Chain A
Amino acid sequence: MTGVSAGLLRIDGLDVTYRTRTGPVRAVRGVDLTVHPGQIVAVVGESGSGKSTTAHAAIGLLPAGGRVEAGSITFDGRDLTGLSEKGWRSVRGTGIALVPQDPTVSLDPVRRVGEQVAEVLRIHRLAPRARLAAEAVELLRRAGVDRPGQRARQYPHQLSGGLRQRVLIAIALAGEPRLIIADEPTSALDVTVQRAILDHLQELAAESGTAVLLITHDLGVAADRAAHVAVMSGGTVVEQGPTREVLGAPAHAYTRDLLAAAPALAGEPLRPRRPAGTDVLLAVTGLRRSFDGTAAVDDVSFTLTRGRTLALVGESGSGKTTTARMAVGLETPDAGTVTFDGEDITAARGERLRALRRRFQLVHQNPYASLNPRMTLGDIVAEPLRAFGVGDRASRRERAAELLEQVALPVSALRRRPVELSGGQRQRVAIARALALNPDLVVLDEPVSALDVSVQAQILRLLVRLQQEHGLTYLFITHDLAVVRQVADEVGVMRRGRLVESGPTDAVLTDPSAEHTRELLAAIPGTRVTAS
């Protein structure tokens, strides 16, 4: 055993290369990182920064084609770099455990949850066969799973995302590891769930003296949880040190950029709020919709005046997306009315609805799924024009170029295809497509939540600029109150299908009247730092 100063996990000069079709790519270069026993260390960076690769190298699970080219990884005094597969098997689970990124795909769908927890004990022979089931239930209970006895007999698809992440935490804790690598453990979850899970993980780690290597893109999460933070960019650690120092007085320009882009920590409005006008563009009253007997939207009313932004916030399942879909005629309400520009459109069908579709457009959350991969960007952007028979080939082409220019993409991109673009660029294309027909209303369904923070900031600024230039009205769906503060004039907070609170953004966020709004505000990562 080496001394405490050597650290529990020590990474020295780590170089990782991926072999790709176009030649080797150096994903991680000269990374040094130390995790002491019982300590929480955060590695922060955007996608492609090498943070996840570093974490995976530490547990010997680099994706195919990935190789440690240089450097050493020492765990508990033992060099891991040259370890055989058998050697790794003895480290994984009991020495180092993993909490993965996306709980919805990280459990075997055809095995019971309890079995999957017990598997760790089975592999490392940590409990007698007869005790396995009971031990698994106990582990689930410790990880904060309600009714663990019943849950243990269920399959992953019967559990919510938050519960599945708790099951994965139970799996990670089962072998009583000395280090847990948590790779973006909550980025797929709602803020309030995220908070509860991180609190619990932190508590359990502290109880058992387990160290945590927390990989995150969210500076707020790092600020709240970690004692030590390492900021990665382009495969190298650009800055690291005690969290308070790094985030309080960042020495590196990249860290400063990242801090400035993080909405939770900055959160200034991107443009002055607009007063409510009298020109009501969209009004919904008493909207209701239920699926299989459960009310998804229950008596929701709001009005939106021209040129403003109304944000609907809430967690998954709160009914915000269903509400927006009803507002633009993509879903038929069970009750209630939708009025668009003074016209009752609740029952609009066929040609009339099609004519209305010219006037409102939708931008989806996932820019990876909303663009047809086989079409060129020019065709994608011009598709609404083609659908409505606007102009001829040449003029549509011209318009597509103009639209790409408006969203700050080069005209040369017209012939390219979505795969060649980053997430942020794809979302720009989706926005350009939404603007093709000069709509009055644009519904933005979580337009930035799939993007890195710095890209998020760019897209939000773009949206605000376009709104000013074209006098657009936005219905903005989001789960992120920080984003609301940046762009919305007005906000409606939804919970379980009901609008629990609504009003001008600043009033709602500074002086929330509903309990749920307060919960959402408290759950924003990074609030502990700004408070201090």
Chain B
Amino acid sequence: MPRRLAQAVVVLWAAFTLSFVVLYLLPGDAVLTKLGSAEGGVTASDAEVAAARAAHGLDDPLPVQYGKRLLAALRGDFGTSVSTGDDATHLVLSALPPTLAVTGLALVLAVLFGGGVAVLGTYTRQRWLGQLLLSLPPLGISLPSFWVGLVLIQVFSFQLRLVPALGSTGFASLVLPAVTLALPTGAIIGQVLAKSLRTQLAEPYVEVVLAKGASRGRVHFGHALRGAALPALTLVGVVAGNLLAGSVVTETVFARDGVGRVTAAAVTAQDIPVVQAVIVLAAFFFVAVNLAVDLLYPLLDPRLAAPAARTGKVTADA
């Protein structure tokens, strides 16, 4: 466990450093953008630009800037937004709740849909139904989410008038973005779970369970599902990170407030402190989810919790 924690810290540090290097070495400058000289229409004097740079600590040599920023980041301070002047950390954190609401709901929906499709698709004895259900995940993965979002708005908001198309007020406004976000995630979960369920059902131990007189339901839900849940759980850790990335698209399509919108705006404005705060937050989210998955694993798989009999020792004690 201490090892895993150390790894988590390294991942966070790497995310910070990599983003620093990439963002600061890129051509372009938020100060210039803000002062309006990016396209050549000079509206600020060199002195004004220099003053603005100094205010944001951009005139130090790079290693010094890196050291200062890293120390500040350790205290949770990523500097102030170049475009709005707000505290970058505060800006990102205050955008977090609506995003978490959508991604949380999306994750629940993804697990329900993906899990349901996989379990039913492998359980049913109607070949056509199984094939139909199991062809849904590949389909879900291949649909682009901005397009799915637009189609959902068209159908459920404009034609059926069931839920609001845009905005971020009330639970109803959560539904369409969450479904949009859940679709590719659920598809991946469904595909992996279906695959590992089929692998489990082909394991020799299933024959022993059947020979006990067990029903297919008992085999499926009592034995195979638990073994098959392990690879799927690992995957949830990975896709949870993708959900956050996906929120950039969905929040833009559905005009919702949230981290995704903040990110999109910050990137457009080359607002480096905000972008960096977002990157480190995303890394933190990813690391936290995976740490939780790692902690859950031994609870599901006793082989990770309890020491094994040494391999190849089939002798004396039998």
Contact = CB atoms under 8 A, between A and B. Distances in A.
Given A110-B300, A155-B306, A315 B314 contact: yes
Interface stretch (B4-12, B151-159, B211-219): B211-219
Interface string B39-69: 0000000000000000000000000000000
A65 to B, nearest CB: 13
Nearest to A314: B315
Contacts of B223: 108, 111
B231 to A, nearest CB: 13
A496 B316 CA distance: 9
Q: Which of B208, B223, B308: most chain A CB closer than 10 A?
A: B208
Given A110-B226, A158-B307, A171 B312 contact: no
Contact of B301 (A98, A110, A161): A110
A174 B317 CA distance: 22
B312 A107 contact: no
Given A190-B314, A317-B312, A106 B210 contact: no
Contact of A190 (B212, B214, B310, B315): B315
Contacts, number: 133
Contacts of A85: 215-216
Nearest to B200: A108
A93 B216 CA distance: 15
A111 B205 CA distance: 11
A156 B300 CA distance: 15
A90 to B, nearest CB: 7
A197 interface: yes
Nearest to A291: B310
B208 A123 contact: no
B315 A317 contact: yes
A100 B309 contact: no
A398 B318 CA distance: 51
A502 interface: no
Interface in B289-318: 300-303, 306-310, 312-318
Given A120-B212, A317-B315, 8 more contacts: A92-B211, A93-B211, A98-B211, A109-B205, A119-B209, A119-B212, A160-B317, A190-B315
B306 A98 contact: no
Q: Which of B308, B310, B312, B318: most chain A CB closer than 10 A?
A: B318
Interface of B is mostly: loop
A473 to B, nearest CB: 26
Interface in A98-146: 98, 100-102, 105-112, 119-120, 123-124, 146
Given A110-B227, A155-B303, A160-B313, A175 B209 contact: no
A193 interface: yes
Interface string B199-242: 00001110111111111101000010011000000000000000
Contacts of B218: 123
Given A100-B204, A168-B208, A162 B318 contact: yes
Contacts of B216: 85
A100 B214 contact: no
B214 A193 contact: no
15 contacts: A92-B210, A92-B213, A94-B213, A97-B211, A98-B208, A101-B204, A108-B223, A109-B205, A109-B227, A110-B226, A160-B313, A196-B318, A316-B313, A317-B312, A317-B315
Contacts of B209: 108, 119
Interface in A277-301: 291-292, 294
Nearest to A60: B210
Contacts of A166: 318
A197 B213 contact: no
A202 interface: no
B315 A318 contact: yes
A229 interface: no
Contacts of B316: 496
A285 to B, nearest CB: 25
Contacts of A397: none
Contact of A193 (B207, B212, B302, B314): B314
A276 interface: no
A185 B196 CA distance: 28
A467 interface: no
Contacts of B212: 92-93, 97, 119-120, 123, 171, 174-175
Contacts of A97: 211-212
